[in-house]
Amino acid sequence: MCGILGIASRNEQVFAELYDGLLMLQHRGQDASGIVTYGDGFFRERKANGLVKDVFGAKDAETLQGRVGMGHVRYPTAGSLSAAEAQPFFVNAPYGIYLVHNGNITNTEEQRAKVTGKYSRHLRTTSDSEILLNVLADKVADAIKVNGNADPIRNIFAGVKMTMERVQGAYSVICLIAGVGMLAFRDPHGIRPLSVAQREAEGEGNDYAFASEDVAFGINGFEKLRDLKPGEAILVDLDGNKHEFQAVEGKLTPCIFEYVYLARPDSLLDGISVYKTQIRMGQTLAKQIEASGLDIDAIIPVPDSARPVALEVSNITGIRYREALVKNRYVGRTFIMPGQEERQKSVRRKLNAIPREMQDRNILLIDDSIVRGNTIKKIVQMCREAGAKKVYIASASPPVKYPNVYGIDMPTKHELVANGRSIEEIREELGADELFYQNLEDLIWAAKGGNPDIEAFDCSCFDGEYVTGSVSEDYLNTLETSTRVTKKIKDMPDAGASWNGATLAT
């Protein structure tokens, strides 16, 4: 996850627009927020742990001056939880470059060794995003040595090309470059989303914006132009001119989990409506529910992201739809919370059951996905305490069995309730009376229905096939034993279970 946003305006100060746009992307990260602006030859930066509304205040509108700027909302998938690893990151040469990044680099250690060894650069953090920034800086510097510095845009595009040939994994990136402008680029597989928008500037010309999701555009009066192509770079110079460059030839394989959970339903990613995809997911799931022949009194969504799926299942099956789980709007999404113990505590704060809608009834809970299983397990228990006779579960996505290495916070097998378990074993673990999962083929059909030109999606968390082709067992084993993952396992309530045994309850 993580959300990135950049705005290049001809005439207006951009801080307030960055603030509003980041609020629209807050669902992509709640750990830290950062904004940097550029004007009069100087960068101005503020970043800290916390939500956008807590990190930034009125005084920042006075200090973060500039007509060009970018922002980031973070949750950690690599590195530590320290505020020092909040983005954006900066290198002072060449030019002076700030970077924000959504995704995850998979050949991190190889690139770290090159950056710190061959190029003698010092890294201040353990973040893969800082490594990506330094690789880009190295490659731009190499281009300057060859081409000279008369054409900085040419050097920057050459640096992006060499970076893409060297870095593996998922990366959607926005950069601010002193004296040059704003750069955006997307990895050759287009795994994480990134789009470009424009609006008519006062006088003549256009303002431009880049964002993880197009929901960040409308609030600031921008109209989406298109999604960046895989392997493409776009640079908006300080005069407001847009330059496009296909750095490497790519093949679009976007992450299918964006449509299941990560993106907002009102977003359009790579031509695909998230909301329409979730409706189609409900259509295929309804077939399974009907075929089961179960006696179901009510369909209840786990709010909020399962609501479109549950409504469509209700429409097709004729089973009545009930909002019997009430969400506390002032508690964050448990999936994003860094500590497992904090996730556990937050479930009761987040949801409350309505007993009159559950008493002596057979209910079907529909959730968008089941990752670790802790939240839905607690909800099943809550529903039984509210008087439900039978509690069935349906997941709008297939079983999450494998680590995601492209920027989603589910990196280890130990955290996944479906890894190494049969459907029946998962059902028993969750305490449900019946359990349904979406078929992967149906999920792909649901997403592809929005854009038939997409030949394949990254479905690695469901099928274990990594589209970059560079994810080795050694790399996955490194993730399993990383310091941060080890802390997560220790924080789990069932920490006494075997480290590498299938009995570890997650």
Q: How far is CA 183 from CA 13, 55, 159, 196, in A?
A: 18, 25, 12, 11
How many Cα atoms within 13 Å fall on the side-chain side of residue 422? 3
Asked whether the beta carbons of 286 and 364 are under 8 A apart, the reply is no
Q: CA-based angle 248:249:253, to the nearest 5?
A: 115
H or E element that contains 313:
helix 307-317
How large is the angle between the packed helices 340-350 and 374-385, nearest 10 degrees? 30
At 442 the three-state DSSP class reads helix
- C-alpha dihedral sign at 496, 499, 399, 423: negative
H or E element that contains 34:
strand 32-39
**Which residue is catalytic, options 2, 175, 383, 461?**
2
How far apart are the C-alpha atoms of 137 and 117, rounded to whole Å?
Answer: 15
Q: Minimal CA–CA distance to 262: which of 170, 383, 391, 132?
A: 170
* HEC string for 381-410: HHHHHCCCCEEEEEECCCCCCCCCCCCCCC
Q: What is the 8-class DSSP label of residue 80?
A: -
Question: What are the φ/ψ torsions at residue 437 (nearest 5 degrees)?
Answer: -125, 145
| In the block, residue with structure tokens 């061959």 | 118
Chain center to CA of 489: 22
How far apart are the C-alpha atoms of 176 and 194, rounded to whole Å?
Answer: 16
2 classed as catalytic: yes
Question: What are the φ/ψ torsions at residue 40 (nearest 5 degrees)?
Answer: 55, 30
Q: CA-based angle 268:272:275, to the nearest 5?
A: 70
Write out the catalytic residue numbers: 2
